[in-house]
């Protein structure tokens, strides 16, 4: 038993498959761009909150250090420990000497 031409025509692909595909692709692209924009906006908001939390923590640390210096005088074991172990300035490590280039191996 074979299939009739009408059966095949009724179940064939849409006449303009490329147009339908392009419309679907365009909609998917718009959805992706909207989702990306929303995610980036959320990330920027949360990133700002995290940066503020870091600044607040730094302020708290500085206030603790100032209080500790007042509470523990220089010359006491506690005061010397605080002053000696907590860096108050940044000293970058010395730069590494440049590595000379390696000549190519001779054949």
SS3 labels along 8-51:
HHHCCCCCCHHHHHHHHHHHHHHHHHHHHHHHHHHHHHHHHHHH
Note the pLDDT of residue 14: 61
Evaluate whether residue 79 is within a structural domain.
yes
Evaluate whether residue 71 is within a structural domain.
yes
Give the number of domains in the chain: 1
Evaluate whether residue 80 is within a structural domain.
yes
More confident residue, 38 or 103: 38
Note the pLDDT of residue 54: 95
- What's the pTM value of the predicted model, to 2 decimals? 0.52
Q: Tell me the two tokens of residue 70.
A: 């007042």
Note the pLDDT of residue 34: 94
Evaluate whether residue 7 is within a structural domain.
no
Give the mean pLDDT of the chain: 85
pLDDT at 105 over 90: no
Evaluate whether residue 45 is within a structural domain.
no
Distance CA 69, CA 85 (A): 13
Evaluate whether residue 13 is within a structural domain.
no
Q: Which domain holds residue 63?
A: 59-88
More confident residue, 18 or 64: 64
> How far from each other are the two terminal CA atoms of the chain, in whole angstroms?
75
Evaluate whether residue 72 is within a structural domain.
yes
Evaluate whether residue 46 is within a structural domain.
no
Torsions phi, psi for 91 (to 5 deg): -120, 110
Distance CA 17, CA 22 (A): 9
């Amino acid at each position: 038993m074979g299939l009739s031409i009408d059966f095949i025509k009724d179940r064939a692909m849409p006449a303009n498959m490329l147009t339908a595909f392009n419309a679907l692709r365009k909609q998917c692209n718009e959805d992706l761009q909207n989702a990306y924009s929303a995610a980036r906006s959320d990330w920027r908001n949360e990133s700002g909150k995290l940066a503020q939390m870091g600044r607040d923590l730094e302020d708290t640390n500085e206030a603790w250090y100032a209080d500790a210096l007042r509470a523990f005088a220089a010359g006491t074991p506690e005061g010397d420990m605080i002053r000696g172990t907590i860096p108050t300035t940044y000293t970058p490590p010395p730069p590494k000497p440049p590595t000379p280039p390696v000549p190519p191996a001779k054949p």
